[in-house]
Amino acid sequence: MRTIFYLIRKEFIQIFRNKFIGRAIFGVPIIQMLILVPAVTFEIRDIKLCIIDRDMSSASRSLISQLEGSKFFRITNSTFSEKEAESLLLKNKCIMVLQIPSDFGKDIGNGKPVKLMSSINAINATTAQLSWAYLNGVLRDYNLDQAKQNINRSAVSAISQIDIRNRYWYNELLNYKFYMLPGILGILVTAIGFLLAGLNLVREKEVGTIEQINVTPVRKHQFIIAKMVPFLLIGLADLVLGLLIGKLAFNIPFEGSIALLFFSASIFLIAVLGFALFISTFSGTQQQFMFIAFFFMIIFILMSGIFTPLESMPWWARKIDLVNPVAYIMKINRMVMLKGSTIHDISRDIYSLIIIAIIFTALAVKRYRKTA
């Protein structure tokens, strides 16, 4: 035990003696939170719309003004030429083109079915689908208004309609920041721990100091634990910092138990640190480590469910995520912070994280060689 204490003490002295690292450890998360949380959003507003109105009737104008009135659309162009509309799409001047045919107003007046034509830039499938859904919403309202105007009012009311009252649970305001913040928190804790711990061990190899440690009776698990503990504590300190920023800058709600969040984060960090140290036992240089670490971090983070729901991934990807610690902490952070989930709700994830943490740490200890 005392040996571990002396080793941990040494790590802390070295970390904070390096002025740059010592500051970056706390500066980087602050900047990351302030930039990423508001920047990374899927909210789509002000969809740039180009209108080809061949009708120019009061009916078409009323449709256009309804589109304009919604917060989702901004009419940036209006033309009669399909060619021009196409070139606008190409140049990203607009992302959606809506064509109103010339007999739009007349057909509506005569009660004939009317067809509109829309083209959407679907390079980003999510944006395209959402734009389409918004357009549909506006058209539905327009149809209803038409019906009310043309048939007599009571008759419309007599038609039974399904009216859904929806409440958005756990994030009533649909605030994207509330959804992203717990995820970003998970990622910044991952990045700090993963890179610093791994690089730290590889650096000892490069400088040669590890040889002097290897010729002492230090036990392998003591050495690995001493490399983990400082970065575990730094990771948790960064989590505190991140939560404070969440509260002060974004007023994020915190429904669950803080203790549970920190408990989960500690297990998560052990898993990530174990993995980082495992990789570093293979790497001879910091360059090698960075390359491999980058590869795994991208996979861990993009597959974690921070941007895309795990449920929509293919089955094999979900199987891979069974060993992805970031996927677990993403879920746990969101559940605990936004839903107020208790330990019973997330016990399966906690157990899985514990198993992963044990396996990765054991691999790191096993793979670290004191005798070549």
Partner 1 sequence: MTNNTVISVRNLVKKFGNFTANDNLNFEVFKGEIFGFLGANGAGKTTTIRILSGLSVPTSGDALVAGFSALHQPEEIKKIIGYMCQKFSLYEDLTVRENIMLYGGIYGLNRKLIKERTNDLLEKLNFGAYGNKLIASLPLGLKQKLAFSVAVLHEPEIVFLDEPTGGVDPVTRRQFWEMIYETASRGITVFVTTHYMDEAEYCDRISIMNEGSIVALDTPANLKKQYDAESVEEVFVKIARPPIPHKFVLKQEE
Residue 208 within binding range of partner 1, rule CB under 8 A: yes
**Pick 12 or 72: Cβ nearer partner 1:** 12
Residue 211 within binding range of partner 1, rule CB under 8 A: yes
Task: Report in angstroms how near the CB of residue 369 gets to partner 1 at its nearest.
Answer: 10
Answer yes or no: are the C-beta atoms of 60 and 100 closer than 8 Å.
yes
**Interacting residues with partner 1 between 215 and 234 (CB under 8 A):** 215-219
Task: Report in angstroms how near the CB of residue 204 gets to partner 1 at its nearest.
Answer: 9
Q: Which of 123, 212, 309, 315 binds partner 1 (CB under 8 A)?
A: 212
Residue 127 within binding range of partner 1, rule CB under 8 A: no
Q: What is the DSSP string of 1-69?
A: -HHHHHHHHHHHHHHHHSHHHHHHHHHHHHHHHHHHHHHS------EEEEEEES--SHHHHHHHHHHHH
Residue 285 within binding range of partner 1, rule CB under 8 A: no
Q: Which of 40, 139, 195, 213 binds partner 1 (CB under 8 A)?
A: 213
Considering CB under 8 A, how many residues would be counted as binding partner 1? 26
User: Applying CB under 8 A, which part among 99-107, 112-120, 143-151, 202-210 lies near partner 1?
Assistant: 202-210
- Nearby residues of 250 by Cβ (< 8 Å), 6 or more positions away: 37, 38, 177, 178, 181
Sheet holding 47-53, edge to edge: 73-79, 47-53, 96-100, 117-120
Would you mind telling me the total number of residues written for the chain in this entry?
372
**Pick 222 or 283: Cβ nearer partner 1:** 222
List the one residue out of 269, 282, 265 whose CA is nearest residue 364: 282
In whole angstroms, give the CA distance from residue 249 to residue 247. Answer: 6
Binding site for partner 1 (CB under 8 A): 2-3, 5-7, 9-10, 13-14, 17-18, 207-209, 211-219, 370-372
